[in-house]
Amino acid sequence: MQTKPFRIGTRGSPLALAQAYETRARLMAAHGLPEEMFEVVVLSTTGDRVTDRALSEIGGKGLFTQELEEQLLSGELDIAVHSSKDMPTKLPDGLHIAAYLPREDFRDAFIGRSAPTLAALPDGAIVGTASLRRQALIRRLRPDIEIVIFRGSVGTRLRKLDEGQVDATLLAYAGLKRLEMEKVATELLDPADFPPAPAQGAICVESRIGDQRIAALLDPINDHPTYDAVTCERAFLATLDGSCRTPIGGFAICHGDALKFSGLILTPDGRREHAIEVEGKRKDAEALGLRAGEAIRAAAGTGFFDSWG
């Protein structure tokens, strides 16, 4: 019987903490355990500390997970809670994603200061975002817009917007909802035209492979439709060597036992793109994502990928 608290690792941003607290609440409800049986351990990651440069310049997504994963492997943490879109497609040996919480709305939210929608922005308007996917999609729709690098927490980005540093910014709607700040969104972007990052809107829980005690803890809170959809999306990303240097969008939807995936790759300037859709059984989610990635890579050709640099 567990006598000491389970240790839940997380980053320290308000959004990361909200995700850790949601995970804790679901575990408490699933197992009938009191709050004191779960200790939330806050760690600072390199990605949190370096905010003046794009992730692609300083090492990519793993900068948000490395410190947490080191403590998972050492046994100092029992589980780590992450935004799934921040997770590298290849995890350290000995670790895996054991559970996903029910997915929130995966759309991107546009937050405009000088105009309520992306289409309504004046010519030459300035939009702040650090995401190469969002940059490429904006350039695809509005090549006249100037883009500047915008990093930091949700609150930091909104403060910069309020200060007039930019005319607009984009954030994951799921994060705004988890922070109860969804009212700041002035437009929700249609995923058919502005596909989200693979795994956007999903909270994942990482643990040690083979730890049966933690597997039993997490199994009741694992949302299977989210697990299958995000597994497909991450397989697509992995096939394309997805990182913060590659503009890639994609999302999977589960309907009963079926799954439909839509994916898109772009050049950074948004001028060239390749899209794909695949459908199949949810039990084949990973294979479907791999197939979609391989097909789009073949259709695009090596020259397309060389343009990413």
Residues with a known catalytic role: 86
Residues 206, 79: contact at Cβ < 8 Å? yes
Segment 67-72 long-range contacts (CB within 8 Å, at least 24 positions apart): 67/43, 68/9, 68/10, 68/11, 68/43, 68/206, 69/95, 69/206, 71/9, 71/41, 71/43, 72/9, 72/206, 72/207, 72/208
Nearest to 13 by CA among 159, 143, 137, 179: 179
DSSP-assigned beta bridge partners for residue 169: 111, 128
Q: Cα–Cα distance between 173 and 177 in angstroms, integer?
A: 6
Nearest to 60 by CA among 108, 130, 11, 13: 130
Extended beta strands in the chain, E state: 6-10, 38-42, 79-83, 95-100, 108-112, 126-128, 146-148, 168-172, 187-188, 203-208, 248-255, 258-266, 273-281
Joined together, the tokens standing for residue 208 give: 């040690």
Joined together, the tokens standing for residue 266 give: 């772009």
For the chain, what is the largest distance between any 2 Cα atoms, rounded to a whole number of angstroms? 64
